[in-house]
Structures are given as C-alpha cells and as structure tokens.
Structure 1
Amino acid sequence: MALPPNPNSPAAARNAAQQDVFLREVDDAVRQDQLEGFMSRYGKPLLAVIVIALLAFAGWIYWQHRQTQEREARSEAYVQALDALQSENLDGAKTKLAPIAAAKGSDATSVSARLMLAGIALRQEKKADAIRIYGEVAADAKAPQALRDLATVRQIGANFDAMKPEDVIARLKPMAAPGNPWFGPAAELVGMAYLKQNKQDQAGPLFAAIAKDKGVEDGLRSRARQLAAVLGVDAVDDIVNDQGEPLNQPTAKLIEPAASGN
C-alpha cells in the first residue's frame, strides 16, 4: 500500500507553488481578456466622455476668469463715473455708465448705473428720458426690489405734475408707511397728492409722521414739519426731563410776586 504524499516534502511544496503560479497566470489572462473586451466595446465612448468633461471644465474655468475680469472692469468704470459726477462732468459720467447699464443682467451695479443715468437725464433737463429709464427699472422683475421701489418713487416724483393724484396714491401708498426704506420720499409725494385732492386731514398727519421719523433725511423732515404746521398738525415730539415731565410747556413761577405794602 502506497503512502500518502507528505505535504511538507520539497516536491509537494514545489507542486503547490507551480499550481499557484498557473492559477495567477490564468486569472491575469482572464482579466486581460475582459479589459480588452471592455475597451474594444466601450473605449471610444468612454474616451469621448472624458475629453468632453475636460473641455467643459476648461471652458468653465475660462468663463469664470472672464466674469471676474468683467466685474473688475465694471467696478472700476463705476468708480470713475462717480468721480466724474462729483466734478460735475455729466457727459463723462454718462460715457462710463452706459456700458455698465447696457450689460446683460439685472444685478445691483447694472441697475444702479441705470438709475444714475436717469438722474443725469433729469439734471440735463431730459425729463422724458429720465421717466422712461425709471419706468424700465421699476418694471424689471429681476432687479433688486429696493432699487425697483426707488425707481418707482423717482419716476413719480419726476412726473408728479402730469399724474392724477389718485394714481400717485395708488402706486406709492404701500411704500408710504413707517419702516419702509423709502417711507420719507414716498410719503411726501402721497401727502402732496392728498393736498391736490383737498384732503388736508389726511395730508397733515402724514407730514407729521415724516417729521417725527428719525430715519428720514433731515431736509425732508424739516419740509414735512413746516407743511404739517401749516395744516395745523403738531409735528414736534414732546421733550421730557428725567422725571418724564414735558420741557416744552410753560414752567411755573418759582418766586411769588411780593405782596403790596399798605
């Protein structure tokens, strides 16, 4: 009877090593065949996808770079336009603002440039152009809401004399409320519209509210205080001392008049 092979013998170890090498070679050959089959079937489409992705990424980087350059150029032109306005060079300011205002998009810089062009048009007595630009900004749904409201106030202010008072009130009344960013100028126009309607009882309290609002520009508060006074409405806040007693009331005499002698 033959003895079983000794697994620890040199011959057995050599056979096991040879089998292991053979299995690895077979496994590598199978993988190589699978890779070649995959590349022959999907290699070209996969390469095309990779090339397209790389081109798209490069295009995106280039687009970002161009956008940054354009923003920097617009910012510089905007600053130069402000300098031109300060030096009363209205035509120079218009030259700098026109490309910014004409740029695609409705970001704050572009809209502000359009508003400044409208203001320049008013100063150059081109009211029709100013009203048109203000109207375009007010109707731009993509523009920031605060700037749209400002355009509405300025458009109505420029065209106030030609508008019906009820139209002025209808458009500005939502903004003519304390707390609104444009409360002061909007409420002043609404108050003037009330006066055109002979509604002094509504105009007076509105002017008084403007005068008492510390968030409103001082010149406008002063005008509103005078108008409220003319309409018989007190627009001056009561001033009190540390004890809460009014200081704008006549004070009592501290020394009684001396009694007349006999």
Structure 2
Amino acid sequence: MALRPDSGKSRADELADRQSREQEVLFREVDEAVRQDQLGGAAKKYGIPVAIGLILVLAAFGGWLWWTEHQEGVKEERSERLITAFDRLEAGQIPQADKDLAALASERSDAQAVSAKLARAGIALNQNRHADAVKLYEEVSADGNAPQAYRDLASIRSMAAQFDQLEPQKVIDRLKPLATPGNPWFGSAGELVAMAYLKQNKPDLAGPLFAAIAKDETVPKSLRSRTRQMAGLLGVDAVVDVDKTLAEVREQEGGAPAAQPAQ
C-alpha cells in the first residue's frame, strides 16, 4: 500500500482545515440564500408600487406627447383661419372677415387672437368707429400674455386714434419710453410725442425730436420726410446728406431719381 506523503501537518490539523473550509462554504451558501430571500421580499414589497409608478410615468409622457401634438394642430388650424380672414379683408369681404376675426379673438388668448384684435381695430378705424378701435387696442395693450411688440403697437395706435381728444401729457407719458432712438417704434411713437410737445407749445422739445427721427435711417422714408419738414419749420436742421435728401424728395414727388455719381 502506498504511503501518503507527509504534509507536515497532523491529522488533527487537517481535520481542522477541512472543517474551516466547509464552514466557509456553508456561510457563503447561507449568505447567498439570505440575499436572494431579501431580494425576493423587496420585489414582493415594492414590485407592484414600482410597476404602478412606471406605468404612471409612461402614461404622463404619452399624455404630454398627445397634448403637444394637439396644441400644434390647434395652432396650425387657427393660423389657417387667420390667413383666410386676411384674404377676405384684402378681397373687400369686410363683414365676413370681421366675423371670422371676432371668433378667433374670443376663443382663446394667443398670437392669433392678438392679431385678430389688431385687424378688427383697423377695420373699426376705417369705418370711423374710433371708440371700438380704441377699446380693441387697449385690450391688446393690457394683455400681459401678448408679445411686447404687439402691445407697443397697440399703444401707439390707441394714442393716434384718440390724439385730438387726449391731453398732450397723457400721450407723452404713454409713448415717451418708446420714443427713443434704437427702439423699433421710435419713428411712430416719436412723431406723436413731438406733436404732443407742439400742443403744449414746446417747440424746443418738438424740433430736435422731429430732426432725430428724420436722421434715423431705420425709419420709413415717408415718415422721415414728414418729420424733416416739421423740423425745418421749427428751425432745426434735419439734413445729414444733402444729395441723398434731394434724391428722396424727388422720388417721393414722383420725379426721376437723382443721377448716381460715376464710379
């Protein structure tokens, strides 16, 4: 019989090592069983709430997608109706256009509603219904949800529509913030403010403002020409480039444009 090689350990030591290894394996198995039992308990305890929460999140996301698509569809439909109303205006179908615009303006507060109100105010002005026009302009001006450019335009139109009935200072207070160079409404608002200064017998304030408008290249030519003449009447020079000014005057009078200098 072959002899077992001597490992240097007694049989008692070998038995102790074997028991130690067996205990280690047993501990690992017990630990794994406990871990699986804990996971199973957690799944039973939290699995249903987590699943419900996930379903709710997915439902909310789906609802948001539907709402966004629905809103885009509504916006597109209202834009088409607004264009149709404008087409009817251009074609001279005023009563039907006004009816369509009134419906758009009353249904909700959005960009289409604001545009509809401004268009209806223009119709009212053309029909000499100044009170109706002012009412619509003031509604737009006071609408905190309307784009600021629309609100500013409505303020200017409102002041212009009732200029003769208002105290000059009210026009100045309302429009002076817009009557500054660099503001998109500088020309229109500035002209009304300058006219209000004249009503207050303050040509020293009106003249320079007229001249500033006339010199502003971003202002429409017709307005620049008008304010240039007013500045000249008040003794304020509003001409920067004489040749260019003469060319603009000839163009507005229907004459031949001035000859361009040779290159």
Q: What TM-score do the two structures reach when normalised by structure 1? A: 0.74
The share of aligned pairs that are identical, in percent, is 53
2:197 equivalent to 1:194? yes
Aligned to 2:90: 86
Q: Equivalent of 2:229, from 226, 232, 246?
A: 226
1:55 alignment partner in structure 2: 59
Deviation string 1:78-112 (CA, Å, 9 cap, x unpaired) is 22122122222223333333344335444x44322
> Over residues 150-187 of structure 1, what are the superposed CA-to-partner deviations in whole Å (9 max), with x where a residue is unaligned?
11111111111111011111111121122211111111
SS of the residue corresponding to residue 219 of structure 1 reads helix
Aligned residue in 2 for 1:65: 69
Letter in 1 for 2:125: L
Distance in 2, matches of 1:43 and 1:180, equals 61
Provide the alpha-carbon RMSD of the alignment: 3.1
Cα 1:29–1:168 change in 2 (3 A) is same
The SS at the match of 2:181 is coil
Alignment partner for residue 162 of structure 1, among 131, 155, 165? Answer: 165
Unpaired runs of 5+ residues, structure 2, are 6-25, 245-263
Shift of 1:122: 1.6
1:134 is aligned to: 137
Which of 118, 122, 127 is residue 124 of structure 1 equivalent to? Answer: 127
Instruction: Give the AA of the match of 2:199.
Output: K
Q: Which residue is 1:96 aligned to?
A: 100
**TM-score, structure 2 length as denominator?**
0.74
User: Structure 1, unaligned stretches of length 5 or more?
Assistant: 5-21, 242-262
Counterpart amino acid of residue 91 in structure 2: S
1:34 and 2:54 matched: no
2:81 pairs with one of 59, 77, 99: 77
| Aligned positions, number | 228
How many Å apart are 1:62 and its aligned residue? 1.0
Higher mean C-alpha deviation, range 136-145 or range 164-173: 136-145
1:45 paired with 2:34, answer no
Could you tell me how far apart the structure 2 residues matched to 1:100 and 1:207 are? 39
Alignment of 1:197-208 (within 5 A): 197-208=200-211
With over 3 angstroms needed to count, the CA separation of the structure-2 counterparts of 1:180 and 1:3, relative to structure 1, is same
1:190-236 Cα deviation digits (max 9, x unpaired): 11111211222322222222222221122222222232233333333
For 1:85 and 1:228, the matched residues in 2 are separated by: 37
